[in-house]
Amino acid sequence: MWKVLNLLWILPGVLANDDIHLKFPTGFTIGASSAAYQIEGGWNASDKGVSVWDSFVHEKNWLISDGSNGDIACDSYHKYKEDVDIMKNIGLKHYRFSLSWTRILPTGLPDKISQDGLQYYKDLIKELRSKGIEPFVTIYHWDHPEFMSRLGSWTNEVMVEWFVEYARVVFRELGSMVKFWTTVNEPNNYCEQSYGGKKQAPGMDLPFFGNYLCLHNLLKAHARVYQIYNEEFRAKQKGKIGIVIPCRHNFPKVENDTESARIAFEFDCGWAANPIFSKDGDYPAVMKQRIKENSQLEGLPFSRLPEFSPYWINLIRGSSDYFGLNHYTSKMVEPVPRNNGTPWYQDSGVRSFVNESWPGCPTDWLRVVPEGLGGVLRDIKEAYKNPPVYILENGVSSYPGIADYNRIEFLYGYMKSMLLAMNRDGCNVKVYTVWSLLDNFEWDRGYTERFGLVEVDFNHPNRTRTPRLATKWLSQIIAKGKLIKLQDTYLYTQPPPPQPQAAAMFMPFFPLIFSFVILRLTGFVS
């Protein structure tokens, strides 16, 4: 009897074995994502109007690493059927893409609606549906009409109602065919780069000022669109609508410095998420306090962080049916010492940096930190009461060629971290989406960074597509409903090795068998 009881010792070891958590729950879907300007091309096809990205790359091509532009990009405007075929072959269950504002409204305003533009999206959606792929449509992924940039783009509040007019046309014309909407892609990252910096359109270069104004108006625009969907379309169209926010996980340099990690999270993710997903419906308290204090020290009679009136707080709070998450990388953080009367470093008072032991990839800002995805999912669960999370971007750039081992390793590690957060820690993730389906125009990096599951030859007029190894691996994961290592697939060696069926069945019991052997050897069990 005691021998049997002794075996119970081993049970925690068996339960802690990560492999038992690697199944995708029923209903969980895996897909891929893209964005209009990065893949479509057809920049002046039919009556399409000029977007801020069209003019930016044409006028300031020295700001793009390889001097290129998205005039043709992957030419998905013409080749969308081939793209859908590729997705079908991989077995992807959903496809996230964005709409080009000026393809649908050539002037940017609803005085004129392009039938050709709408037809392109109707055809794409029909093609997806006919192959059993669910469309996830992003209304705005950074390419607003050019003329609006001359009015200050998103620093001008007039954009809010113009965006509502555009969204209304989109819901009216496409809403019967779409069940999943995203209003705005990555408001925080976008405002930081394009209003705080100058390398991406409209390139305002107004750090610690333009970025705050931009996000303020984008949140208003998002909430108004959520409101009109509720009031005018939801009852009939029965879709879900939300926003997508990029969030990093932050590891404190000093282990118990959870405060710095929390502040870094608030200034990155919470800036956009807190007003929508927290019960106070406003920017994080620490952000309001530190930016106000810095503004005072600068001699300003107001805070550089704009304030929401109670009307807007009410409208923005709760304005998302799901938490859309984009996640790529993590940071280390530490507080920057200050005396009273000196400003908070970078408004946040926290310095972020990378851990040099984290592996890299061809993209300099992207260090590979798989445990960060689980970390950020737990951050979101804790901060916002476990909302349903749709992961709408996660991916890595690979080296030239189609043997993208670093991508397979990245996706395996990140998905494993996600599955542990879900199946072990109760995070409510519903959807996982790889960035990106195709190599594409990577904004200021041009075509120099390759995020595609599928390689695209940008030197060939056909923009030839060649699926990389990761697509074959991903097909197997999707077909089996379970995360498996490349080594455990037939792809690992050629010709395919015999499948280790019997051995695989015993894998979950391996810790048990191993512990038993040890106990035997040490004489605890005879």
Nearer to ligand PNW among residue 40 and residue 282 (C-beta): 40
- For residues 324 and 390, the answer to whether their CB atoms sit within 8 Å is yes
Instruction: State how far the Cα of 154 lies from the Cα of 164, in Å rounded to an integer.
Output: 13
Instruction: List C-alpha distances in Å: 272 to 76, 216, 319.
Output: 31, 9, 12
For the CB of residue 223, give the shortest distance to ligand PNW in the complex, in Å.
21
Question: Would you tell me which residues interact with ligand PNW (CB under 6 A)?
Answer: 35, 185-186, 189, 246, 248, 326, 328-329, 365, 393, 435, 442, 451
CB of 440 to ligand PNW, least distance (A): 7
225: nearest Cα among 170, 158, 274: 170
- Across 218-375, the runs of DSSP E, i.e. the strands, are 240-246, 249-252, 323-326, 330-335, 350-353
* Cα-based torsion angle of the residue sequence 256, 259, 260, 264 in order, rounded to the nearest 10 degrees: 130
Nearer to ligand PNW, 83 or 393 (CB): 393
SS3 86: helix
The residue assigned the tokens 């007029």 is 461
Active site residue 186: yes
> How many of the other CB atoms lie within 10 Å of CB of 172?
14
**Closest approach of ligand PNW to the CB of residue 96, in Å:** 10
Q: Minimum CB separation from ligand PNW for residue 63, in Å?
A: 16
Taking CB atoms, the residue at the shortest distance from ligand PNW is: 246
Q: By C-beta, is 318 or 362 nearer to ligand PNW?
A: 362
The CA R_g of the chain, rounded to the nearest whole Å, is 24
Beta bridge partners of 455: 466
Alpha carbon of residue 154 to chain centroid:
21
Residues 219, 226: contact at Cβ < 8 Å?
Answer: no
Residue among 40, 393, 449, 455 flagged as catalytic: 393
What is residue 7's three-state secondary structure? Answer: helix
Hey, how many other C-beta atoms are within 10 angstroms of the C-beta on 92? 27
Closest approach of Cβ 185 to ligand PNW, in Å? Answer: 5
> Nearer Cβ to ligand PNW, position 22 or 214?
214
- Regarding beta strands 94-98 and 29-33, do their DSSP bridges make them parallel or antiparallel, or are they unpaired? parallel
Q: How far apart are CB 393 and ligand PNW at their closest, in Å?
A: 6
Nearest CB to ligand PNW, comparing residues 37 and 473: 37
Provide the residue count of the chain: 526
Sign of CA dihedral 346, 389, 29, 410: positive
Of 40, 127, 146, 186, catalytic: 186
- By beta-carbon proximity to ligand PNW, the closer residue of 187 and 239 is 187
Q: Is 409 labeled as catalytic in the residue annotation?
A: no
d(CA 374, CA 427): 9
Choice between 266 and 282, CB closer to ligand PNW: 266
Nearest distance from C-beta of residue 219 to ligand PNW, angstroms:
17
Supply the residues annotated as catalytic.
186, 393
